[in-house]
Structure 1
Amino acid sequence: MNRKSLFLLLIVSLTFTSGIFAQKKVSILGDSYSTFHGYVIPDSNLCWYGVPGEKKENDVTKVEETWWYRFINDRDLQLERNNSYSGSTICNTGYEKADYSDRSFITRMDNLGDPDIILVFGGTNDSWAGAPIGDYKYEGWTKADLYNFRPAFCRLLDYLTRQYPQAKIYNITNTELSDDVTNSMDEVCRHYGIINIRLHDIDKQWGHPSVRGMKSISEQVAQGMLLSKKSCSR
């Protein structure tokens, strides 16, 4: 590739990047991977990172090292709302089959402000807790349905697309999850036309992203968004 072609490719890439990121407000709906004490709304949400007095075998000690802060700061975006809750599941079933309806994603999905971009990063605790998978169900959810992962994830994406029609929604799938959770996210995202960014090779300490892992998540999310934009423009 000659110098002129490389220059044109750079211009095209910068144009796509500007179109995705410029002057955008970002909201995050997440679990412990997206928490940092003092930076979540509401502030009563439990946090895993940055909690005063808690020592963890993880080298992330500053909010600037989190994936979402890197992603937003590096691209001159604005944080609209970070509604992340440590240990939360997408469905209403938590660890040891406890009722997590006080913290689940489907309980918190109506508290994201007025975003241009929504980043959904969950499913990790559903996988770790062995939450019931259930069936794909795209309407008519009952209370009982929402204690199962698939119908709850369907309900989540259905609500987000309807409640925030102006926002571009992206789902982020963690590494090392059960096949049921990973494949279900793919299927439900396809149904709702939502880009599913599947992470790979994330460095973790104590099951949570390290500084290196956080940097990689930020880069993979940006790359996934850029590739989806290019694909849609063809």
Structure 2
Amino acid sequence: MRKTLVLFIAFISILTFSATAVAPKAGVSILGDSYSTFEGHVTPDTNYVWYFKAPKPGRTDVDKVSQTWWHQLICDKGLRLVVNNSFSGATICNRGYRGDDYSDRSFLTRVKELGSPEIILVFGGTNDSWAGVEVGEYLDENGKTADGSAPDLYTFRPALDIMLSTMKDYYPGADIYFIVNSELRPEITESIVTLCGRHGIETVMLENIDKQSNHPSVKGMAEIARQVGAKLK
């Protein structure tokens, strides 16, 4: 009887421990542009940033990392940051401002540098829109062009298609969300929605984001965190 009681107590203890044990936090990685940067908080640290610790009142009221959308989201949802690979001014495709070659910083180039996350948040397309890059043509379901030529990765649609395909293959099991900025060129927004739908990636369509110098203010950052958080599973 005593042995049975001891075993019963041990069994109850195991159940109690299992019920109260803290589940590991889901890891989140960010692939972004200036909207997701902050000085000292991007990987690699050679990436250009737009938000700095020193106040810049004529430019932005964001001067603390805790004010960024991603920091607020991670804290609010009990997540864990794996990698924030954001690069100010970066385009998704390999073409940038003034027609320059941005293959050293494009989303397409950086897509495999996100660690091992359970959740991936992609926030891009803004610079492609602002820089006036060509949208190009959609690839077919096999990733091929209509005439069989190599995809032009210096145009938006082929680069985005291959980037999303690479992401799905390289991070199996990860939940991927694409955050779509407001006020983009219509053809950029349409391309993102179409290709994310093709690859089974959920989009977060931002609305009414307060901005200074075309970048989220403190108020805008909080609104981005709220809108993205509402979409997370």
TM-score by length of 1: 0.84
Counterpart in the other structure of 1:169 = 176
Structure that is richer in helix per residue: 1
Match of 2:94 among 83, 92, 95: 92
Matches within 5 A, 1:1-234: 23-50=25-52, 52=54, 56-137=58-139, 138=141, 139-140=143-144, 145-225=152-232, 229=233
The 2-side partners of 1:189 and 1:34 are apart by: 20
The 2-side partners of 1:181 and 1:140 are apart by: 20
CA contact (8 A) 2:54 2:63 kept: no
Q: What RMSD, in angstroms, separates the aligned Cα atoms of the two structures? A: 1.8
The residue identity in structure 2 corresponding to 1:98 is D
The 1-side partners of 2:53 and 2:218 are apart by: 16
SS in 1 for 2:153: helix
The residue identity in structure 1 corresponding to 2:187 is D
The residue identity in structure 1 corresponding to 2:127 is N
The 2-side partners of 1:66 and 1:143 are apart by: 39
- Following TM superposition, by how much is the alpha carbon of 1:23 offset from its aligned partner in structure 2, in angstroms? 1.7
The 2-side partners of 1:77 and 1:64 are apart by: 14
The residue identity in structure 2 corresponding to 1:192 is H
CA contact (8 A) 1:22 1:76 kept: no
Structure 1: runs of 5+ lacking an equivalent: 1-20, 230-234
- Following TM superposition, by how much is the alpha carbon of 1:46 offset from its aligned partner in structure 2, in angstroms? 0.2
Alpha-carbon spacing, 1:53–1:74, altered in 2? closer, same or farther (3 Å): closer
Alpha-carbon spacing, 1:114–1:97, altered in 2? closer, same or farther (3 Å): same
1:1-51 per-residue CA deviation (whole Å, 9 max, x = no partner) reads xxxxxxxxxxxxxxxxxxxx9721000000000000100000000000016
SS in 2 for 1:82: strand
CA contact (8 A) 1:170 1:194 kept: yes
Alpha-carbon spacing, 1:30–1:56, altered in 2? closer, same or farther (3 Å): farther
- Following TM superposition, by how much is the alpha carbon of 1:152 offset from its aligned partner in structure 2, in angstroms? 0.5
Aligned residue pair count:
206
CA contact (8 A) 2:32 2:107 kept: yes
SS in 2 for 1:147: coil
Query: Identity over the aligned pairs, expressed in percent?
Result: 51
Higher mean C-alpha deviation, range 21-30 or range 207-216: 21-30
Alpha-carbon spacing, 1:202–1:115, altered in 2? closer, same or farther (3 Å): same
TM-score by length of 2: 0.84
The 2-side partners of 1:178 and 1:130 are apart by: 9
The 2-side partners of 1:52 and 1:146 are apart by: 37
- Following TM superposition, by how much is the alpha carbon of 1:76 offset from its aligned partner in structure 2, in angstroms? 1.3
The 1-side partners of 2:161 and 2:85 are apart by: 19
